[in-house]
Structure 1
Amino acid sequence: MTGGQTVVLLLSVLVASTTQVTVGFGFALLSVPLMTMAVPTREAVVISTILGLLTSSFQAWHGRRDADRTLIRRLTSAALVGLPIGWLVFTRVPDDVLRAILGMSVLVAVMLLATGLVARGSTRLDVLCGALSGALASSLSTNGPPLVFALQARSVPMRVFRPTINTVFTFSGLLSLVAFALSGEIESDAVVHALWSVPVLLAGSRIGFLLRVRVREEHARRIVLTLLTLAGLSAILAAIV
């Protein structure tokens, strides 16, 4: 890896971890497309899953008293259905195609989040979103949007939203890593690059905690959507060029 690629990788982690802690989601949505400018798509997914597991598990533990355990059980159970499907996509689809799918999925997520579309909360919606999140977790590591959609449909307050969604992230991330390991998709470079990024991850998380109490939620969301749009477009362009 060149010096420039290392800088891109570390900046991707810094921006994504700051975003994740500030608004409760967005780590993989930002980090994976940005990382693909420095490393192959599959490696970016593995690195993001490793680092995302660290930040999501910490946030899940930090807010565990406010987490909605009923929703967690329902969403994680549904995610089990989607995880094998996503794993098949991850292991069978060519890297450039995977990168294009990644970019398009991020842009679709931006459109859904930007429109503020809110469905009526129901068990059926929870199960559908949970299964979709599982498939996205093990294929692209970008499983946030379906979970955000399901929790918004139930008007979950932010203090409950953060630990609930991060507990599901932790569950899906752990199982995805196990699947990647069993299929031989975790290479030494990905592990080394993830370890390099841990100090930057911690720095970004610290910045996120500071911003959380200073930045208004609606302003933070606008910034996140702008960053996601740029990240999604960059992934699509990289796949084409």
Structure 2
Amino acid sequence: MPWRWHDASVTVTAWVLLGAAAVLIGLAKTALGGLGSIAIAIFATVLPAKESTGAILLLLVVGDVVAAWHYRGDADRALLRRLIPAVVPGLLLGVAFLAVVDDVVLRRSIGGLLLAMAALQLWLKVRAPSSTSAVASSRAAGVVTGAASGFATMTANAAGPVMTLYLVAQGIDKRRFLGTGALFYLGVNLCKVPLSAGLGLLGGDTVVRTALLAPLVLLGTWAGVHLVRRLSQTRFEQAVLAATVVSAVALVVR
């Protein structure tokens, strides 16, 4: 169902879906990261796939700013230092990929990527915690996660599942999880803005759409802050992984 500003019957449905996605983005940023991928699936359904990557980017930045501020004292900068050096090559590879693929290939790539990340996270949960932690804390794991996050976020705004895998494997508490992710996503998404603009993905319609949907992102961030306070550490990890699995399936079966 492509987006049509001039088609009233489509516009109403599209706004309802995009509004729901905006709330999910806010929830994802301050509570359950996997919900962000459901929002990606909604945007990729309503809009052409390439346009959807630019349309959702500015809304993600809105949520990132709120989350980074709220969890500003909880980020693990040592973990971030392992990831950052490999992010830029991943971003550049993503730019090259976006420049040569069409909407169909991109949509299938988004779905396949999310499903693969969900499968990895389920595999992670059945591994022995000690061996998983040892692998996750290695320098190689940081490099792979950084590069994969850069590519995934540039092509599909889907760094969330990659980071969820990495951070859950670290065995860190939920506030440290959210604070580290918030600072990482904010930095990466701000870097993507000029790259996306250069690819022609941030047109005037996208800016207007962002301004209209931003209040719903803020509503979602507020709800997420209150939700995460009610979740135990175990329930938090289970909910994050379950949300990612649902989001992966939602896009693949589209």
In structure 2, distance between residues paired with 1:19 and 1:133: 16
> 1:154 Cα shift?
2.7
Equivalent pair of 2:173/2:233 in contact (CA under 8 Å)? no
- Matched residue, 1:76: 84
Equivalent pair of 2:76/2:176 in contact (CA under 8 Å)? yes
Amino acid at match of 2:213: S
> 1:161 Cα shift?
1.6
Equivalent pair of 1:49/1:141 in contact (CA under 8 Å)? yes
Amino acid at match of 1:91: A
Equivalent pair of 1:17/1:27 in contact (CA under 8 Å)? no
Equivalent pair of 2:25/2:60 in contact (CA under 8 Å)? no
2:251 alignment partner, SS class: helix
Q: Looking at CA atoms only, which structure, 1 or 2, has the larger radius of gyration?
A: 2
- Matched residue, 1:213: 229
Equivalent pair of 1:32/1:41 in contact (CA under 8 Å)? no
In structure 2, distance between residues paired with 1:96 and 1:79: 26
1:64 alignment partner, SS class: coil
Q: Normalising to structure 1: TM-score of the pair?
A: 0.88
Equivalent pair of 1:34/1:231 in contact (CA under 8 Å)? no
**1:176 paired to 2:185:** no
C-alpha offsets along residues 29-81 of structure 1, whole Å, 9 cap, x if unaligned? 12111112211112221122211112123222322222222222331221112
- Matched residue, 1:43: 51
More divergent stretch after superposition (117-126 vs 162-171): 117-126
**1:20 paired to 2:36:** no
Instruction: Describe the shift of the 1:102–1:113 C-alpha distance in structure 2 as closer, same or farther (beyond 3 A).
Output: same
Within-5 A mapping of 1:76-115: 76-115=84-123
Equivalent pair of 1:16/1:26 in contact (CA under 8 Å)? no
More divergent stretch after superposition (177-186 vs 211-220): 211-220
In structure 1, distance between residues paired with 2:111 and 2:244: 9
Amino acid at match of 2:210: A
- Matched residue, 1:5: 14
CA RMSD of aligned residues (A): 2.1
> 1:163 Cα shift?
1.2
Instruction: Describe the shift of the 1:48–1:143 C-alpha distance in structure 2 as closer, same or farther (beyond 3 A).
Output: same
> 1:218 Cα shift?
4.1
- Matched residue, 1:185: 201
2:230 alignment partner, SS class: coil
- Matched residue, 1:154: 170
More divergent stretch after superposition (223-232 vs 68-77): 223-232
1:232 alignment partner, SS class: helix
- Matched residue, 1:54: 62
C-alpha offsets along residues 113-144 of structure 1, whole Å, 9 cap, x if unaligned? 23325352111211111111011111111012
More divergent stretch after superposition (85-94 vs 110-119): 110-119
Aligned length: 237
Instruction: Describe the shift of the 1:75–1:114 C-alpha distance in structure 2 as closer, same or farther (beyond 3 A).
Output: same
Amino acid at match of 2:78: T
Amino acid at match of 2:145: C
Equivalent pair of 2:64/2:182 in contact (CA under 8 Å)? yes
Instruction: Describe the shift of the 1:110–1:57 C-alpha distance in structure 2 as closer, same or farther (beyond 3 A).
Output: same
2:212 alignment partner, SS class: helix
Instruction: Describe the shift of the 1:119–1:142 C-alpha distance in structure 2 as closer, same or farther (beyond 3 A).
Output: same
- Matched residue, 1:145: 161
Q: Normalising to structure 2: TM-score of the pair?
A: 0.84
Amino acid at match of 2:13: G
Equivalent pair of 2:117/2:161 in contact (CA under 8 Å)? yes
Equivalent pair of 1:75/1:127 in contact (CA under 8 Å)? yes
Instruction: Describe the shift of the 1:193–1:4 C-alpha distance in structure 2 as closer, same or farther (beyond 3 A).
Output: same
- Matched residue, 2:8: none
Percent identity reads 24
> 1:220 Cα shift?
4.9
More divergent stretch after superposition (187-196 vs 124-133): 187-196
